[in-house]
Chains A and B, each alone.
Chain A
């Protein structure tokens, strides 16, 4: 869905073009005053913060991020220690009960937040770097380079994505970093196409032609003049990417291939419910983990949608 962001609203994007230029060149900002008196970032932020659902989602995401950072301080019990009764429903200060070796479920969920955030943000960082670079190069140079990169992109996109990730992660040895890297290295093609499409439109624009004529070296043109104008669609794509990565990691860990115990992840906590005894008799051990994954993914999707609308300039009540 994020793929369409740029192309569909080409006209809206061109508005942003000069605006982004200004934002990224503080030196020029003074001489180029926007018609409504606001900078581009401010305008988008204003529109974004008018969207209640997106703002609530952003608050939820920030809370989750802080939970991940301060997990050690927040968690009421140690992560892996057997501190309570076995398989107990919520009691005393074990607010979400305990698992089959007496570990506190809530503390494990809090630490599990770390996994989701590391995999989500880490893999997106990796794929944004790869996808943006290849997309810039592909779109700007065209010709042979372009067709090679595009063929590779098509090959990647026609693969059954999850199947390949599952196989690769299981071969390379599971773990949080393997999952992050494999997800990052395999997720770039849609972004690459998106950036390429934008560059194709931008490179005929006057300010790019002017930059080339002024004698900027190619990397300069690409990263100083073109990249800032592609940032908005990249940001939207990356936001949705975080949600997808969190969901994929949870699926892998659920299947026993991703993050391995004793390190808790929401996915591997949920996988304990594959035993009918836990599923039917001890709902406190799996329902909260499922709700957390759902809320995290939903919130990030709403943030992405809010960003997209704010950037496209749609005003929705």
Chain B
């Protein structure tokens, strides 16, 4: 009951933040060089025709009026049209969400499944060569530019060895299916998860080292509990809070990483759409994507806060 109240309260406080984001997006859109009118009239239009179009589009109104109208349309799902194709923005946007969710979901799953055990291992072997190796590896992982890693993997595994496709999500004209999807996912997920594996391993390591220094662990050891029991019942549970925090900061970062990775591997998701929108100056599309990712991040943060309560009943919300 209390949690429900908290969620409602958080959703309500999200509204002003969303409005702030929308004002930001509107300002950015008006920073864009060029007059949108030019995209609606033919190049040989007379000044009078241009003026008429401007009025028809509402561009002669003061900015606050334009903003309210734009917001009203956006709330009804009208995010504007794509200049070049004249298609509405929304359906194109929706069609690109799926591939990006697949890519990000697979990345997070793989990253945490690898990093959490590695972090625990590193902490338990604190100071040994295994720990040093993993710590060094983590430094490499956070420092390697994902585009360089991506190009390197394509060069070795696609061009030289021919094991994996150079890009795309499924074979053109192929039967597709699960196996093909996995086959196409391997390289992009490897590139995207390198950073998250490294980052999470480091956090897990330092958290576990801290947890192992706590009194309740010493008590458990003194009681004669087996190392595995101490780890699973006392160690991991207490390490989960910082881990959830990292998931919260990983998500906004993932949006950026996905842009670069999708571009390299021609993954048909939101990231590639972003680059296309930038290159072709499709500003309504660009704003829609920015807004969407801000909204996603907002809800991800909310989700993380709720997860705290699930993992640690001591946390109270008020």
Contacts and interface: CB of A to CB of B under 8 A. Distances in A.
Interface of A: 1, 155, 158-164, 166-168, 170-173, 243, 247, 250-251, 254-257, 267, 270-271, 273-274, 276, 279-280, 283, 286-287, 290-291, 293-294, 297-298, 301-302, 305
A298 B143 contact: yes
A184 B148 CA distance: 24
Contacts of B274: 163, 166
A251 B147 contact: yes
Interface string B89-122: 0000000000000000000000000000000000
Given A1-B202, A158-B301, A163 B147 contact: no
26 contacts: A155-B17, A159-B21, A159-B297, A160-B253, A160-B297, A161-B253, A162-B256, A162-B257, A167-B286, A171-B32, A250-B145, A251-B256, A251-B260, A254-B147, A255-B263, A274-B263, A276-B166, A280-B155, A286-B151, A294-B144, A297-B143, A298-B139, A298-B144, A301-B139, A302-B139, A305-B139
Interface in B62-88: none
B31 interface: yes
B147 A270 contact: yes
B142 to A, nearest CB: 7
Contacts of B31: 171-172
- Judged by DSSP, the binding face of A is helix
Nearest to B210: A8
A167 B263 contact: no
B279 interface: yes
B86 to A, nearest CB: 22
Contacts of B147: 250-251, 254, 267, 270-271, 290
B210 to A, nearest CB: 9
A273 B159 CA distance: 13
A290 B28 contact: no
A161 B139 contact: no
Contacts of B148: 270, 290-291, 293-294
Contact of B294 (A159, A168, A254, A270): A159
Contacts, number: 120
Contacts of A254: 145, 147, 260
B290 interface: yes
A293 B301 CA distance: 32
Nearest to A276: B166
Contacts of A270: 145, 147-148, 151
Contacts of A247: 143, 145
A162 B253 contact: yes
A162 B259 contact: yes
Contact of B143 (A172, A280, A301): A301
A276 B297 CA distance: 34
Contacts of B140: 298
B255 A163 contact: yes
A163 B145 contact: no
A178 B64 CA distance: 27
Given A255-B275, A294-B145, 14 more contacts: A158-B17, A160-B253, A161-B253, A166-B278, A171-B31, A171-B32, A247-B145, A250-B145, A255-B278, A279-B154, A290-B147, A290-B151, A294-B143, A302-B139
Contacts of A173: 33
Nearest to B145: A293
Contact of B259 (A255, A286, A287, A294): A255
B301 A168 contact: no
- Listed from nearest, the 10 A-B pairs whose CB atoms lie closest are A162-B256, A290-B148, A160-B255, A298-B143, A297-B143, A160-B252, A160-B293, A280-B159, A170-B278, A254-B147
Contacts of B255: 160, 162-163
Among A161, A254, A274: residue with most chain B CB under 10 A: A254
Contacts of A161: 252-253, 256
B256 A160 contact: yes
A256 to B, nearest CB: 7
B298 interface: yes
A249 to B, nearest CB: 11
Contacts of B181: none
Contacts of B256: 160-163, 166, 251
Nearest to A301: B143
B36 interface: no
Contacts of A279: 151, 154-155, 159
B197 interface: no
A163 B279 contact: no
Given A159-B294, A163-B256, A172-B31, A257 B278 contact: yes
Among B143, B275, B283, B289: residue with most chain A CB under 10 A: B143
Contacts of A251: 145-147, 256, 260
Nearest to A159: B294
